[in-house]
Amino acid sequence: METMQPFGEGFATALAPEIVLVIGMFTLMIVPNMGDAKFRIPLTQIRIPWFFGGKRGTLDSDPRLPGVFASMFFVIAFLLAALSYVNGMNVTMIETESGYDLLLVNEFSRIFELIFYGALALASIASINRIPATSRKDRSALGLYNNRRQVDFYILLMTTGLGMSIVALSQDLFLLFIGLELASFSTYVLVSFMKETKEGTEAGMKYFIVGSVASGVGLYGLSLLYLWSGSLQFTELTLAFAENGMEPLPLIALGMLLVGFGFKVSAAPFHFAAPDAYAGATSPVAGVLATASKAMGVIGLLRILLVVASPEATDGAAVWLIALAVLSVVTMTWGNLAALGSTNPKRMLAYSSVAHAGYMLAAITAIGALNWEPEHINASNDAALAVVTALIFHLVVLVCFKLGAFLVLSILENEKGGHTLASLGGLAKREPLLAATMFIFMMSLAGVPPLSGFVSKLLVIMGIVKVALVDVTVNGNLTFSDIHWVWYLALLMVINSAISVFYYLRVGLVMFFHEPEAGREGPLPAGRSVRFAILACLLTTLYFGVGAGQLISLCESAANALVGAW
Amino acid sequence: MIDWISIPLVGLPLVSSLVLLAFVASADGAARERLGSSIRMVSLVISLAMLGLTTMMFFAQNNSSMYEALGLDKALDWTGLGFGSFNFEFRYVWIEALGIHWSVGIDALSFPMVWLTTFLLPVTIIATWNEKHASTYFPLILMMGGALIGVFVALDLFMFYVFWELTLIPMFFLILKWGGKDRKYASQKFFIYTFTASVVMLLGLVTLYFLQPDQALSYSGSWTGRTFDIPTLTAHAQQGNAGGAWFLGESMQKILFVMLMLGFLVKLPSVPFHTWLPDAHVQAPTGGSMLLAGVMLKMGAYGMFRLPLAFFPHAAEHFQFWLLALGMISLVWGAIVCLGQTNLKKMVAYSSVSHMGVILIGIATMQPLGWAAALFMMFAHGIISPMLFAVCGAFKHHYHSMEIGAMRGMAKHSPWLATSMMFAWMASLGLPLLAGFVAELMMFLALWHFLAANDWSVLWMVGPALVLALTAAYYLWSMQRTIFEGGEETQPPASLNGQPVPDIADSEKFAMIILAVFTILFGVMPWIALDMMNGWTVAFFETLLIPILGGA
């Protein structure tokens, strides 16, 4: 492992994707403001063209410009992150002069960067040319928002990406929290970006209030943790936990942090704002919330639960085992039952993402159930690796089909639809390929083979079952009670995914069976970029289902980087 | 050996259907209607090519020109293949880390089913030649066929499960788009019911996967050290079960057996898990019903033979009573419910439940004869039930009603339909010299033998005996009401609005003749199929069951 200091030698290479994003932000600020302004040298009549301000040209006042730029920078950042895999991972630790760990670039953080940039790139490609103006004042040519306002949208997407990658990279709880807040604040604004509409304002307000309360609780937990150990470095916290983690103070702090991150992954009972937020935000933003933002929360949970309060510290069961198991059971069941009753497809997807959060919590719970005594450590390591791989795989493919589903809804949103299931009616007649794509996304969410959603669900189930059976020795007197109870989490997950089929199928039913609503018989709104993004989602959904092998080994290397560092 | 399975039998129908559908989706409404007939022709040609291939596989048993055409240097031996060996066995790595392979092969258990699928595809296409929305209907039929064959040839649990679930999607759309009035309810019920059972089965499979010892099994994943390979698992289970020991321990084996059987019993379906079937059948279009009853139900029985019975013979013996009871209840209950039906298609659907009971009883006897009876029943029912549903479809198509008694005196004005109906009904009630009779007779013999050998009460025979009478009763009753009653003055249904009553179309006649010919063929010369089934069963008992369970 290489170590370096901030802005030291090699810093730019290690953090190239993030630096691209920062450059992108400045470009976005500058370019749409360039005009024919001239600067007069004082005391002379000489005017030098200076470009900042003045009357803008046709090119830089084009409302599509910010979207194109932002998408470009996201794609470059994505490719740079991907390239570091191709070139062989250069594991780099960035630390302060006094030796405090700050950021760690390894397979684990890189794959999460890929998730974030991929989701954001797709969201931003899908939004090019497609943020409709709701008031006359801001309207430009093409019926879009003036590009000065459009720029805000994309800059916020970029700060979201930046905050998220800090979360993935950070080796210090405080830094992690700063990244989390950077991303959160950007998403609060993004959710309420349609500030002229009632839903947009309401969604933003609810999301902000609930989110900031959750952050506040988390921050309080953080301060308690600092009070207790005197450091927020993961390495130090791990040691401190191993020594005397059963004291009340760190346990209370842990519980509070769980609230903070539980909100981010929208685990019940901290999920109440999510359906409103998803329904009020534009669909691409809702898609980002359901995929990238959730991945960010999962990083937080993994760091807190597995690295800091590492299960190795205790014998057989982590302190949080029961709490997390209850949380996961409640979350998956609640999410599925609530989704059954929602007629707004965006709320339905929001609840389905709550259910998916439950599956992920079940997977994390399973790791807590492992036995880390010396004679079991190898088997336990293997099992933990399997579970973390499954988690990462799940988060990666979630970007493909969940974001894809939101993007399909975003096309309908352009004709003021997408808020009721009925507005999907007759989609198969209006645009058969889009309806078929949406159906594939739904089936993937439900976990029907051979789509990637099935592989991810299978991997999570396999991970949990592997953990449940890790201590079992197969002989003649093996009984069912020898199996660890986390096996029942897998059973519950299986039952829940059977329930979920109902509401996913219903979407297909409406698309293929119902007649279009009055006024929606014609062709769908155009939008080449969003269809391109949907196509990308579709192809990856299919590819990662049929050819999952490569992605699994990629996720395994990432999981190895985390598990190996325990 | 050339891999005649992966591409020609599985890949071709799936890929061509996707290509055709994508092609259709990009055409507008009017062009789509024009495309219909050419797409139908393409589908028919593809399915006929597949039928040709599987038929060649059959004749490659002794005909040298056939096996040379298949690129083989010696004859294929289906009958004496032995247990655990397969023809056309091929393996490609799919997901290396988890030990998942694309692994295919056909033995005497799967070959009749594969042939049956390829046989029913062109027959279904011909029988429903004039189905509306032809440009999407025929590709879906083709996709259905590809997925079904995938289930039968898969030798890897993952692949098996993938195809198992994949069959749901085309069937869901067939019911949804071409179905009757309540198609929405029926298609959802069908999907959710079978999906729920399948995921429970999946959890059982995953648990079984991790209960294998973490050692160098062949074809195991580099990362998990376990394998999904069915022959390897079977061999391993065989070792574990040897010498009276229970593979994986007694309670574990029982639980896994129940979990796997749940998936298969729902698919079969057996009472009390059968309620999705009548709904699905009544609403499904004719083509969908033909494939559903003809092949899809057999997936359940096939799966039982392939997985739980091979892995967990001790548990199977333990649950023998329950299997027998379930089979008996399905048999009797299905027949009793048939008596009360006024809807022709619903009656046929419940008769399927009843016949599936025969399969379950055959399995439960744990006798080679009973198993061969079950296998032959799968095959015979696979030819007869499509004919039943083709008749129902023609009935509905021409008389716009499914009610028994809506149309009377059919013999007078629709002689073709009346004859087909009579033939199909007779075949289904087990008339000697027709295929169904052979299976039922064998099942009776096996059950008698089993009851006598194990000192079980003879009262078990009351069920099948009763059903013989009941089956005859509901079939004859419905026939009398539709074909003969009315005499000189026939009663065209009110739904025809006084138009003249048509007979069935030429394509339908053709499909009926084909189905009837094969029903007679396998009734008169059952050994064509029965030899290989018997060979497989005997091999199964000799190599696996008898050493483990003892006795005969």
Phi, psi of A233, rounded to the nearest 5 degrees: -65, 135
Q: Which of A386, A450, A501 sits opposite B166 (nearest CB)?
A: A450
Residues A104/A171, Cβ–Cβ less than 8 Å: yes
Q: Nearest-CA distance from A320 to chain B in Å?
A: 25
How far apart are the C-alpha atoms of A313 and B20, rounded to whole Å?
Answer: 59
Q: What is the ipTM score, two decimals? A: 0.86
pLDDT on residue A194: 80
Report the residue of A456, A479, A492, A531 to disrupt the B interface, i.e. the one with the largest count of B CBs within 10 Å: A479
Looking at the partner chain, which of A465, A476, A487 has a beta carbon nearest the beta carbon of B245? A476
Task: Give the distance, in angstroms, between the CA of residue A493 and the centroid of all CA atoms in the same chain.
Answer: 21
Q: Is the Cα torsion angle A129, A134, A136, A137 positive or negative in sign? A: negative
* CA distance linking residue B260 with residue A146, whole number of Å: 60
Given an 8 Å threshold on Cβ–Cβ distance, is B195 in contact with A552? no
CB A504 within 8 A of CB A442: yes
Which three-class secondary structure state does DSSP give residue B428?
A: helix
Q: Please give the model's pTM, rounded to 2 decimal places.
A: 0.91
Which chain A residues touch B162 with a CB distance below 8 Å?
Answer: 449-450, 454
Residue of B19, B33, B95, B259 to mutate for A, most A C-beta atoms under 10 A: B95
Confidence at residue A134, expressed as pLDDT on a 0 to 100 scale: 54
Cβ–Cβ below 8 Å for B223 and A556 = yes
B168 contacts A448? CB cut-off 8 A? yes
Residues of chain B with pLDDT under 70: 214-217, 486-500, 551-552
**Proportion of chain A in helix, strand, coil states, percent, rounded to 5:** 70, 5, 25
Non-local (6+) Cβ contacts of B552 within 8 A are: B541, B546
Contact A450 B248 (CB under 8 A): no
| Residue contact B211–A474, C-beta within 8 A | yes
Indicate yes or no: CB of A443 within 8 angstroms of CB of B223.
no
Which residues, 6 or more positions from B319, have their beta carbon under 8 angstroms from its beta carbon? B254, B257, B258, B261
Mutate to test the interface with B, among A434, A513, A514, A550 (most CBs of B within 10 A): A513
- Taking contacts as CB-CB distances below 8 angstroms, the residues of chain B near A548 are 95
Angle between helices A173-191 and A147-169 (to 10 degrees): 160
Q: Is the peptide bond before B272 cis (omega within 30 degrees of 0)?
A: yes
Tell me how far apart the alpha carbons of residues A404 and A542 are, in angstroms, rounded to a whole number. 12
CA dihedral B387, B392, B398, B404 (to 10 degrees): 140
Whether residues B210 and A549 touch (CB distance < 8 A) is answered with: no
Question: Which pLDDT belongs to residue A299?
Answer: 92
Nearest to A474 among B177, B187, B248 (CB): B248
Look at phi and psi of residue A266 and say left if phi exceeds 0, alpha if psi is from -120 to 50, else beta: left
Contact B191 A556 (CB under 8 A): no
Three-state DSSP state, B28: coil
Among A474, A490, A498, whose Cβ lies nearest the Cβ of B195? Answer: A498
**Residue A47 has which token pair?**
């005017």
Chain B residues within an 8 Å CB radius of A538: none
Q: Mean pLDDT of residues grouped by 10 in chain A (566 residues)?
A: 80 88 92 81 84 76 84 94 84 85 89 94 87 57 67 92 93 91 92 83 90 93 90 86 80 89 88 88 91 92 82 63 90 92 91 93 88 76 89 94 93 82 87 91 91 92 88 69 85 91 90 84 82 94 89 89 73
A512 vs B contacts (CB less than 8 Å): 173, 176-177
DSSP B306-357: HTHHHH-HHHHHHTHHHHHHHHHHHHHHHHHHHHT--BHHHHHHHHHHHHHH
Q: Judge: B206–A462 Cβ closer than 8 Å, yes or no.
A: yes
**Which of A528, A511, A513, A510 shows the shortest CA–CA distance to A414?**
A528
Q: Is the dihedral of CA B208, B212, B217, B222 positive or negative?
A: positive
| CA A288 from centre of chain | 6
A-chain CB neighbours of B22 within 8 Å are 433
Closest chain B residue to A428 measured between Cα atoms? B25
Question: pLDDT at position B552, please?
Answer: 45
Q: Which of B25, B165, B252 sits opposite A448 (nearest CB)?
A: B165
Question: Cβ of B95 and A548 within 8 Å?
Answer: yes
When CB atoms are compared, the residue of B95, B165, B191 closest to A505 is B191
Cβ pair A474:B169 closer than 8 A: no
Judge: B206–A490 Cβ closer than 8 Å, yes or no. Answer: yes
Residue A480 to residue B252, Cβ atoms within 8 A: yes
Residue of chain A nearest B23, judged by CA positions = A433
Residues of B in contact with A480 (CB under 8 A): 251-252, 255
- Contact flag A494-B199 (C-beta cutoff 8 Å): yes
Q: Among A446, A459, A454, which Cα is nearest to A500's?
A: A446
Inter-chain residue contact A465 with B207, CB threshold 8 Å:
yes
Residue contact B252–A476, C-beta within 8 A: no
**Alpha-carbon distance values, A61 to A57, A64, A131, A144 (Å):** 6, 9, 15, 12
CA dist B357 and B65 (Å) reads 41
Q: How many CB atoms lie within 10 A of CB B12?
A: 20
